[in-house]
Homo-oligomer: A and B are copies of this chain.
């Protein structure tokens, strides 16, 4: 594996400096005064924190001589120099690892994927190493250092420890993925839950920019949820958070792999929809593509399965709204491919179950391909890099 990456630390070792950089990253170019206002800090603190970031090349100032006051604080806007550093983000799916090479602004420069022969940790690690090698070679061609690797995995992930505690989808328990991947790739590694990673990308660069409270709900093989409350992604005191898929909406509902009954995922996950259609119609649909095709042909049983799924998702979203009152809920995930089959039921069930003004929450859909999830993983690596004091990455 080529190894042009090198140990480099971010010259901002206070929470305020990280916050200033993140503010410029999401909202820049901004003048120092605008940064101060948005970050709730004093202009003096911003000016002081910006200086070493400019010196190290992470921020650049767009010099406009006409805007420079004769005395005092520079009035030129500052922005992040995306080309200063590169990051790798990987999303582990059931049959492949999707990888992206992004710049410091989390813009995708290269996207690649590597097949997964099976879901054993060793196999996934081999694909991670292969894909990382490919992307490092691409970075070498660009002549820019790669400063971190983010890996997004579904399930209960303890980011601080870098451990996948439990991933039902991968059938993993207590896999120290960050440590293993750091040893294999030589890069600082951040491991996070895939939906939380996507949520970080939405918060910094997507439909969550400027919102202090929002949720990302993903529909597909699993039903996931990333929550931002008071401007920060919720991680949970014990590693579990955002498990909308395991909110039980019907005690008489179908059994769930978690051992409970009537979970949103047990009604609205891909496998649940396929199973329901097989049972009610007798048609042996192989996957969601066939399931959706049958529903689109007007098959009543297939349509009912999607309607039930939509109702469960809508009730789950209403539960999030009733408990947290987010400004916006962003629905995404590969399940959006069949969105027309349950959009109405999601809306109706949400409206019926939302309490009072919680119904004012802006529920919107946003298709995000797997590359965007990988980009989310890169965003977590950038986050770890600029908040190195959090010690949330393995080296």
- Residues of A at the B interface (CB closer than 8 Å) are 15, 40, 156, 165-166, 212-213, 225, 227, 229-232, 234-244, 246-252, 258-260, 315, 318-327, 352-353, 355-358, 360-361
Contact check, B156 vs A357: say whether CB atoms are below 8 A apart: yes
A318: chain B residues at CB < 8 Å are 248
Contact check, B325 vs A236: say whether CB atoms are below 8 A apart: yes
Can you list 6 pairs linking A and B with CB atoms under 8 Å apart? Answer: A213-B237, A229-B229, A230-B232, A236-B325, A242-B323, A250-B250
Contact check, A165 vs B230: say whether CB atoms are below 8 A apart: no
Q: A229 to B242, alpha carbons, bound, how many Å?
A: 13
Q: A229 to B321, alpha carbons, bound, how many Å?
A: 15
A356 with B165, Cβ < 8 A, contacts A232-B230, A323-B227, A323-B243 known? yes
Partner of A323, one of B244, B356, B360: B244
A242: chain B residues at CB < 8 Å are 323
A241 with B319, Cβ < 8 A, contacts A165-B356, A246-B355, A352-B259 known? no
Contact check, A353 vs B248: say whether CB atoms are below 8 A apart: yes
A232: chain B residues at CB < 8 Å are 230
A241 to chain B, nearest CB (A): 4
Partner of A238, one of B244, B260, B358: B358
Which B residue's beta carbon lies closest to that of A256?
B355
Closest 9 CB pairs of A and B: A236-B325, A237-B327, A238-B357, A243-B322, A240-B358, A246-B355, A241-B325, A229-B229, A238-B360
A320: chain B residues at CB < 8 Å are 323
Contacts A235-B325, A244-B322 aside, 11 further interface pairs with beta carbons under 8 A come to A213-B237, A229-B230, A237-B327, A238-B357, A239-B356, A241-B325, A242-B323, A244-B323, A247-B322, A247-B323, A259-B352
A240: chain B residues at CB < 8 Å are 321-322, 325, 355-358
A243: chain B residues at CB < 8 Å are 322-323, 355-356, 358
Contact check, A247 vs B319: say whether CB atoms are below 8 A apart: yes
A234 with B239, Cβ < 8 A, contacts A319-B323, A357-B156 known? no
Q: A393 to B236, alpha carbons, bound, how many Å?
A: 32
Q: A238 to B166, alpha carbons, bound, how many Å?
A: 35
A20 to chain B, nearest CB (A): 15
A250: chain B residues at CB < 8 Å are 250-251
Contact check, A260 vs B325: say whether CB atoms are below 8 A apart: no
A165: chain B residues at CB < 8 Å are 356-357
A236: chain B residues at CB < 8 Å are 213, 324-326, 357-358
Which B residue's beta carbon lies closest to that of A240?
B358
Contact check, B361 vs A324: say whether CB atoms are below 8 A apart: no
A47 to chain B, nearest CB (A): 17
Q: A235 to B250, alpha carbons, bound, how many Å?
A: 28
A228 to chain B, nearest CB (A): 10
A125 to chain B, nearest CB (A): 23
A234 with B357, Cβ < 8 A, contacts A249-B248, A352-B260 known? no
Q: A250 to B232, alpha carbons, bound, how many Å?
A: 32
Contact check, A325 vs B239: say whether CB atoms are below 8 A apart: yes
A173 to chain B, nearest CB (A): 10
A315: chain B residues at CB < 8 Å are 248, 251
Contact check, A234 vs B229: say whether CB atoms are below 8 A apart: yes
Contact check, A227 vs B324: say whether CB atoms are below 8 A apart: yes
